[in-house]
Amino acid sequence: MSETREIGRENANIRDNHRRILAAQYELRRRLYKAISNDPSLPDDVREENRYKLSKLPRNSSFTRVRNRCVFTGRARGVYAAFRMSRIVFRELANRGMLNGVKKASW
Protein backbone atom coordinates (compact mmCIF):
# COMPACT_ATOMS: atom_id res chain seq x y z
CA MET A 1 0.00 0.00 0.00
CA SER A 2 2.85 2.41 0.75
CA GLU A 3 4.19 1.90 -2.77
CA THR A 4 0.98 3.18 -4.34
CA ARG A 5 0.97 6.10 -1.91
CA GLU A 6 4.50 7.05 -2.98
CA ILE A 7 3.52 6.88 -6.65
CA GLY A 8 0.46 9.01 -5.90
CA ARG A 9 2.60 11.65 -4.20
CA GLU A 10 5.06 11.71 -7.09
CA ASN A 11 2.20 12.23 -9.50
CA ALA A 12 0.82 14.96 -7.24
CA ASN A 13 4.17 16.77 -7.35
CA ILE A 14 4.30 16.46 -11.13
CA ARG A 15 0.71 17.70 -11.41
CA ASP A 16 1.43 20.62 -9.07
CA ASN A 17 4.55 21.57 -11.03
CA HIS A 18 2.53 21.51 -14.26
CA ARG A 19 -0.06 23.79 -12.65
CA ARG A 20 2.64 26.22 -11.54
CA ILE A 21 4.02 26.41 -15.08
CA LEU A 22 0.56 26.97 -16.56
CA ALA A 23 -0.32 29.60 -13.96
CA ALA A 24 2.84 31.55 -14.74
CA GLN A 25 2.26 31.19 -18.49
CA TYR A 26 -1.34 32.47 -18.41
CA GLU A 27 -0.99 34.99 -15.55
CA LEU A 28 -0.99 38.19 -17.64
CA ARG A 29 -3.82 37.06 -19.90
CA ARG A 30 -5.92 35.96 -16.93
CA ARG A 31 -5.36 39.26 -15.09
CA LEU A 32 -6.25 41.28 -18.20
CA TYR A 33 -9.49 39.39 -18.85
CA LYS A 34 -10.44 39.58 -15.19
CA ALA A 35 -9.76 43.32 -14.94
CA ILE A 36 -11.78 44.08 -18.07
CA SER A 37 -14.69 41.85 -17.05
CA ASN A 38 -14.87 43.47 -13.60
CA ASP A 39 -14.70 47.08 -14.84
CA PRO A 40 -18.22 48.59 -14.57
CA SER A 41 -17.33 51.58 -16.77
CA LEU A 42 -17.00 49.36 -19.87
CA PRO A 43 -19.94 48.25 -22.04
CA ASP A 44 -21.63 44.98 -21.10
CA ASP A 45 -20.80 43.24 -24.38
CA VAL A 46 -17.05 43.89 -23.93
CA ARG A 47 -17.19 42.64 -20.35
CA GLU A 48 -19.15 39.55 -21.40
CA GLU A 49 -16.67 38.79 -24.18
CA ASN A 50 -13.77 38.90 -21.71
CA ARG A 51 -15.67 36.71 -19.25
CA TYR A 52 -16.05 34.19 -22.05
CA LYS A 53 -12.32 34.38 -22.87
CA LEU A 54 -11.54 33.92 -19.17
CA SER A 55 -13.72 30.83 -19.03
CA LYS A 56 -11.89 29.33 -22.03
CA LEU A 57 -8.49 29.45 -20.33
CA PRO A 58 -7.29 26.13 -18.89
CA ARG A 59 -8.56 25.49 -15.36
CA ASN A 60 -5.12 24.51 -14.17
CA SER A 61 -3.76 27.91 -15.18
CA SER A 62 -5.39 29.48 -12.12
CA PHE A 63 -3.16 30.17 -9.11
CA THR A 64 -5.87 28.90 -6.77
CA ARG A 65 -5.27 25.39 -8.10
CA VAL A 66 -1.59 25.48 -7.15
CA ARG A 67 -0.89 23.65 -3.89
CA ASN A 68 2.28 23.93 -1.83
CA ARG A 69 3.79 20.46 -1.61
CA CYS A 70 6.94 19.09 -0.05
CA VAL A 71 9.55 18.50 -2.76
CA PHE A 72 10.89 15.47 -0.88
CA THR A 73 7.75 13.61 0.19
CA GLY A 74 4.89 15.22 -1.75
CA ARG A 75 3.06 15.99 1.49
CA ALA A 76 0.48 18.76 1.05
CA ARG A 77 -0.10 19.78 4.66
CA GLY A 78 2.34 21.45 7.01
CA VAL A 79 4.58 22.76 4.24
CA TYR A 80 6.87 25.73 4.85
CA ALA A 81 6.57 27.81 1.70
CA ALA A 82 10.01 29.42 2.09
CA PHE A 83 11.73 26.02 2.11
CA ARG A 84 9.17 24.05 0.02
CA MET A 85 9.39 21.15 2.47
CA SER A 86 7.10 19.68 5.07
CA ARG A 87 7.55 20.35 8.76
CA ILE A 88 8.62 16.73 9.30
CA VAL A 89 11.40 16.80 6.69
CA PHE A 90 12.41 20.30 7.81
CA ARG A 91 12.83 19.15 11.42
CA GLU A 92 14.80 16.09 10.39
CA LEU A 93 17.21 18.06 8.17
CA ALA A 94 17.57 20.86 10.74
CA ASN A 95 18.44 18.35 13.48
CA ARG A 96 21.12 16.83 11.26
CA GLY A 97 22.51 20.32 10.57
CA MET A 98 21.91 20.06 6.84
CA LEU A 99 20.10 23.42 6.55
CA ASN A 100 22.43 26.42 6.51
CA GLY A 101 21.52 29.14 8.99
CA VAL A 102 18.93 27.04 10.85
CA LYS A 103 19.49 25.92 14.41
CA LYS A 104 17.39 25.05 17.42
CA ALA A 105 16.32 27.95 19.56
CA SER A 106 17.78 28.14 23.06
CA TRP A 107 17.51 30.96 25.56
Q: Residue 79 belongs to what domain range? A: 72-99
Please indicate, yes or no, if residue 104 is contained in any of the structural domains.
no
The amino acid present at 33, given as its one-letter code, is Y
pLDDT over 70 at 4, yes or no: no
Lowest mean pLDDT among 3-12, 72-81, 88-97, 98-107: 3-12
pTM for the model: 0.75
Q: Mean pLDDT throughout 22-51?
A: 95
Query: Please, how many CA atoms are within 13 Å of residue 44, restricted to the half-sphere of its CB?
Result: 0
Q: DSSP 3-state assignment of 38? A: coil
pLDDT at position 3: 65
Please indicate, yes or no, if residue 7 is contained in any of the structural domains.
yes
pLDDT at position 6: 63
10 vs 30, higher pLDDT: 30
The whole-angstrom separation of Cα 37 and Cα 76 is: 33
Burial (CB < 10 A; 0-12, 13-18, 19+), residue 84, is middle
pLDDT at position 87: 95
Instruction: Give the number of domains in the chain.
Output: 2
Query: Do residues 75 and 69 lie in contact, with contact meaning Cβ atoms separated by under 8 Å?
Result: yes
Are 21 and 53 members of one domain? yes
